[in-house]
């Protein structure tokens, strides 16, 4: 079926590669560039395979992409490919992503590529130093990041002088299940590849992955647990469906709360698509 789609793309002068059923970056670019008439032909193939139930209208949107992506199986992320996607990335997390992703519903290339892109951005290449939230801010950046809780740059300077746990107490104390003045804010600061924050979320994650992160929150930085925490968040936030529907912006918002890092995610997604098979 993928070969048939490539044949249509080639006949439309959108694709110049081999008819091999390997949906690399060239094939993806061709899909993105389809005219409505070409898109209708691809939609018809997907409809005949009972993968697509929408209209044959040439508008290759989320539903069409979901059907198309269901045909492209999950690739294994190799250390060699990761180094091409993100030079300098830590490879010790890959064994857990490859082994556990299917358990959390990741079964297509689109899901693997977008999960990888987002987690690379969130963890700065799976950097072990960035798997617990760091409050080593300059005053201006601290105030800008947490302006709801820190009213001025001068207040930020005063807070910085008191140390990172004090900053954490100001911005996280008394919310997200944390107590006030009891160390919860620092203990349950952001942790993992997609950072889990707050005692409520640590408690929920502990139950979901059967690990005691309430009493031992520092374990969230361990590679296997860091990966499990990210996969749990990904599944819980419905990111898999967004990935299959190529809703990259919406997926980024579900993970980060906005568009911060979106351009980097798009870049790593395309690189992952190019290098993973």
Per-residue pLDDT at 106:
97
DSSP class of residue 131 equals S
Encoding tokens for residue 276?
Answer: 């993973």
Per-residue pLDDT at 107:
97
Rounded percentage of the chain residues whose pLDDT exceeds 70:
100
Q: Both 208 and 105 in a single domain? A: yes
A 10 A CB-CB count for 48 gives 11
Q: Angle 109-123/262-275 helices, nearest 10 degrees?
A: 130
Encode pLDDT of 181-234 as tens digits.
999 999 999 999 999 999 999 999 999 999 999 999 999 999 999 999 999 999
Per-residue pLDDT at 114:
98
Per-residue pLDDT at 182:
97
- Residue 142 located in a structural domain: no
**What's the whole-number mean pLDDT along residues 64-81?**
97
Q: Both 196 and 240 in a single domain? A: yes
**What's the whole-number mean pLDDT along residues 256-267?**
94
Q: Both 49 and 97 in a single domain? A: no
How many domains does the structure of the chain reveal?
Answer: 2
Q: Both 127 and 219 in a single domain? A: yes
**What's the whole-number mean pLDDT along residues 18-44?**
97
Q: Both 65 and 79 in a single domain? A: no
Per-residue pLDDT at 257:
87
- The mean pLDDT of the chain is 96
- Residue 12 located in a structural domain: yes
- Residue 121 located in a structural domain: yes
Encode pLDDT of 113-162 as tens digits.
999 999 999 999 999 887 999 999 999 999 999 999 999 999 999 999 99
What's 258's domain CATH number?
Answer: 1.10.530.10
- Residue 29 located in a structural domain: yes
Of 32, 50, 69, the position where a domain reaches its end is: 69
Per-residue pLDDT at 130:
78
Of 47, 69, 91, the position where a domain reaches its end is: 69
Entry pTM: 0.93
**What's the whole-number mean pLDDT along residues 4-29?**
96
Q: Both 92 and 206 in a single domain? A: yes
Q: Which domain holds residue 41?
A: 2-69
Q: Both 23 and 94 in a single domain? A: no
CA atoms within 13 A on the CB side of 45: 17
Q: Both 10 and 95 in a single domain? A: no
Q: Both 57 and 84 in a single domain? A: no
Q: Both 6 and 106 in a single domain? A: no
- Residue 149 located in a structural domain: no
Per-residue pLDDT at 88:
94
DSSP string, 80-107: HHHHHHSTT--GGGHHHHHHHGGGGT--
- Residue 212 located in a structural domain: yes
- Residue 175 located in a structural domain: no
Encode pLDDT of 92-119 as tens digits.
999 999 999 999 999 999 999 999 999 9
Residue 1 has pLDDT above 90, yes or no: yes
Contact assessment for residue 168 and residue 187, using Cβ atoms and an 8 Å cutoff: no
Q: Both 41 and 103 in a single domain? A: no
Per-residue pLDDT at 159:
96
Per-residue pLDDT at 221:
94
Contact assessment for residue 137 and residue 168, using Cβ atoms and an 8 Å cutoff: no
Q: Both 209 and 254 in a single domain? A: yes
- Lowest-confidence range among 37-41, 82-86, 153-157, 257-261? 257-261
Alpha carbons 158 and 52: distance in angstroms, whole number: 58
Of 69, 91, 114, the position where a domain reaches its end is: 69
**What's the whole-number mean pLDDT along residues 260-266?**
96
- Residue 127 located in a structural domain: yes
């Amino acid at each position: 079926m993928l070969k048939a789609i490539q044949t249509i793309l080639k006949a439309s002068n959108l694709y110049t590669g081999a008819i091999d059923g390997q949906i690399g970056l060239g094939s993806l670019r061709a899909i993105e560039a389809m005219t409505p008439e070409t898109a209708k032909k691809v939609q018809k193939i997907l409809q005949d395979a009972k993968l697509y139930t929408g209209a044959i209208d040439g508008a290759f949107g989320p539903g069409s992409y979901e059907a198309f992506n269901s045909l492209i199986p999950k690739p294994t992320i190799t250390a060699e490919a990761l180094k091409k996607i993100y030079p300098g990335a830590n490879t010790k997390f890959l064994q857990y992503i490859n082994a556990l992703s299917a358990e959390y519903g990741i079964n297509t290339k689109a899901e693997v590529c977008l999960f990888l892109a987002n987690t690379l951005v969130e963890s700065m290449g799976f950097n072990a130093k960035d798997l617990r939230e760091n409050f080593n801010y300059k005053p201006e950046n601290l105030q800008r990041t947490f302006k709801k809780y820190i009213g001025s740059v001068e207040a930020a300077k005063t807070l910085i002088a008191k140390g990172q746990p004090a900053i954490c107490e100001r911005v996280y104390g008394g919310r997200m299940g944390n107590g006030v003045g009891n160390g919860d804010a620092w203990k349950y600061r952001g942790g993992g590849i997609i950072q889990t924050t707050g005692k409520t979320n640590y408690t929920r994650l502990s139950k979901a992955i059967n690990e005691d992160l309430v009493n031992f929150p520092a374990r969230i930085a361990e590679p296997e647990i860091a990966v499990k925490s990210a996969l749990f968040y990904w599944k819980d936030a419905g990111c898999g469906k967004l990935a299959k529907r190529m809703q990259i912006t919406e997926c980024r918002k579900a993970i980060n709360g906005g568009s911060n890092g979106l351009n980097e995610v798009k870049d790593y997604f395309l690189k992952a698509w190019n290098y993973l098979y």
